[in-house]
Structure 1
Amino acid sequence: MSTRIPATLIAGDGIGPEIVESTLAALDALGAPYDWDHQTAGLGGVQAVGDPLPAATLDSIRRTRLALKGPLETPSGGGFRSSNVRLREEFQLYANLRPARTIIPGGRFDDIDLIVVRENLEGLYIGHEHYVPIGNDPRAVAMATGVNTRMGSLRLLEFAFEHAIAQGRKKVTIVHKANIMKALTGLFLDAAYDLHARKYKDQIAIDSVIIDACAMKLVLNPWQFDVLVTTNLFGDILSDLVAGLVGGLGMAPGANIGTDAAIFEAVHGSAPDIAGKGIANPTALLLAAALMLEHTKLPDLAARLRNAIDGTVNIDKVRTGDLGGNANTEAFTKALVARIRNG
């Protein structure tokens, strides 16, 4: 535990600083060996230096190759472009990892343990869009171009297979729309079966499902799935759907992983309506920190953190308001830290 690990810390906007403070308290209690470089982005970056993604923040992540961040505010419609998307592009974070696990039993769905692996840089999500004017209407027609590449598909699929095997999973399901989007998602589907046949056929099972059928099946019987891997836009939708099976985005961590950097985050928004009230639920960012611990080869600490979260909400019954409790962020954090320290 003596080797220190440099890491960039972005508190984020809205409730970001509150849930980051809670997460740092838990990591300190675990003795996690991170040396934090505090940086800013999103609305905080605009307010500080006039840039939603300051050069100092990018330089820090290039140096540390590791970041933990709170939610960043992005205006709808106009304003500045999403800092989250820009970070993925800047560091080629091609794999978005979104696990969903039931923590509080007794909900509409129980015993959920799913992983969604989403391609992060291609597809219809890349924002190649334009308007076509007709007559006096400059926005008469809106057009978007989706781009999938075989190389981009294969690197994501290889990550998905390797992660599934490392986690002891049994099956990877490829989610697509190759019946209609034969080229754009057909390429992804073909690449998946080709890679599996060449490299993974004796290590893990594979099947495939059309995106709309997958959404229905996830609601009817989510337990038939294990690991879902898909293209960018489909993955964006399915990962939130899967989060809904375990209680919502407040229970959903995310990891964005590339060859040279990895960024871990709470995937929910900045919730400006409750910012500063001390009632935010830090669980999503805490679970993201557990993913970060695993990524930095500290799986024992990750397991201790997850076990402490489980114990805090289920044994100690300390829960924030969105989980049906009455604890504020500080009380939840104190209970979690006590559970970590008391083992």
Structure 2
Amino acid sequence: MTQTITLIEGDGIGPEITAQVVRVLQALQLPLTFDRQTLGQTALEQTGSLIPETTLQSIRKNHIALKAPCTTPVGQGFRSVNVQLRLAFDLYANIRPARSLEGVKTRYENVDLIIFRENTEDLYIGEERKIDEDTIEAIKRITRPASQRIIQAAFEYAAAHQRKKVTCVHKANILKQSDGLFLRIFREIAAQYPQIEATDLNVDNACMQMVMHPEQFDVMVMPNLYGDILSDLSSGLIGGLGLLPGVNRNEEIAIFEAVHGSAPDIAGKNLANPTALLQSACMMLDHLGYGDAAQRIHKALVSVLCDTPIRTRDLGGTATTTAFTDALIARL
């Protein structure tokens, strides 16, 4: 049966890296078709809406989307496209695996951690209120239902993938009620999985530990804002945002995306690294039951990085986006 995927090419470098990832997927000759939709700045210019209803309808119909980076206009009163999309579909789980990629030299070896970030509440959703001209308050909301489902998802993933440890990241020593609730729920759920080691760290200590001894981490779970910050930190452990994949999902809908931004400064120059979106596509293939195809892509990627000097600029090379993809397809 052919699977239709909502394809969001995004803004800036988005169309360039999307085109190359589609080339790789088509080279595998899988029964996949693409329903191309717009989102972000490009959609605003074309339709007058950052998130056109046709795009939302496509995602509802197909349940699967592959999304390149999108731009939200700055300083014009627009709410983040990514936040709106996550809330529109209640995509409560943001999952970002950070794994060392053979052939990419970094300060660390054998990093293999995965961050489960709650996606629908906490400070990150941007609820603010003006008290007076000199005072603004931001709302940090933590609820039991939202906390339970992301923590449960982290433990379920650990159990299903033979992971040995789940670490909760919080600031419950200061935010005793909000982060305190998240930590209490973590401990309640951890008791249901005695075979999995459960630990917790204050977010400041977690940042230090990640850059000193990242090998100690396995599965990590945390509220929204900490997840945004620590997942970017984790990309630095493996070579940068150009390598980090991700997915926003619930039980019905999954939107696979590159974590990095739209990089307008290099848009149209054929310089961007397509690896993050490509690895997100591999996560999508695993999700769809094409694990063997995902492994083929991964092996081809490692072959390019280990056996050739071909690198995009962010990895210290001079190869164009197209040339990098050509080399990868040649090794499929």
TM-score normalized with structure 2 length: 0.97
Task: Return the offset for 1:79.
Answer: 4.0
CA contact (8 A) 1:8 1:38 kept: yes
Name 2:108's counterpart in structure 1: 109
Q: Which amino acid aligns with 1:144?
A: A
Q: Distance in 2 between matches of 1:331 and 1:29?
A: 15
Question: Per-residue CA shift, 1:153-177, capped at 9, x if unaligned?
Answer: 1111111111222232111101111
Structure 1: any 5+ residue segments left out of the alignment?
134-138
Question: Per-residue CA shift, 1:3-50, capped at 9, x if unaligned?
Answer: 211210000000000000110011111223222111001001001101
Match of 1:270 among 247, 262, 271: 262
Match of 2:22 among 21, 24, 27: 24
CA contact (8 A) 2:105 2:239 kept: no
Q: Distance in 2 between matches of 1:69 and 1:60?
A: 13
Q: Which amino acid aligns with 2:163?
A: R
SS in 2 for 1:147: coil
SS in 1 for 2:198: strand
Name 1:87's counterpart in structure 2: 85
Q: Which amino acid aligns with 2:45?
A: Q
Q: Distance in 2 between matches of 1:235 and 1:264?
A: 17
CA contact (8 A) 1:160 1:229 kept: yes
SS in 1 for 2:76: coil
Name 1:296's counterpart in structure 2: 288
Question: Per-residue CA shift, 1:97-117, capped at 9, x if unaligned?
Answer: 111111134321222111111
The answer as to 2:162 corresponding to 1:168 is yes
Name 1:130's counterpart in structure 2: 129
CA contact (8 A) 1:95 1:120 kept: yes
Q: Distance in 2 between matches of 1:25 and 1:166?
A: 32
Name 1:178's counterpart in structure 2: 172
Name 1:14's counterpart in structure 2: 12
CA contact (8 A) 1:130 1:143 kept: yes
The answer as to 2:189 corresponding to 1:201 is no
Q: How does 1:281-292 map onto structure 2 within 5 Å?
A: 281-292=273-284
Q: Distance in 2 between matches of 1:193 and 1:310?
A: 39
Name 1:330's counterpart in structure 2: 322
Structure 2: any 5+ residue segments left out of the alignment?
none
Name 1:71's counterpart in structure 2: 69
SS in 1 for 2:126: strand
SS in 2 for 1:20: helix
SS in 2 for 1:217: helix
Q: Which amino acid aligns with 2:119?
A: N
Name 1:244's counterpart in structure 2: 236
Task: Return the offset for 1:75.
Answer: 2.5
CA contact (8 A) 2:271 2:321 kept: yes
Name 1:305's counterpart in structure 2: 297
TM-score normalized with structure 1 length: 0.94
SS in 1 for 2:331: helix
Q: Distance in 2 between matches of 1:109 and 1:315?
A: 20
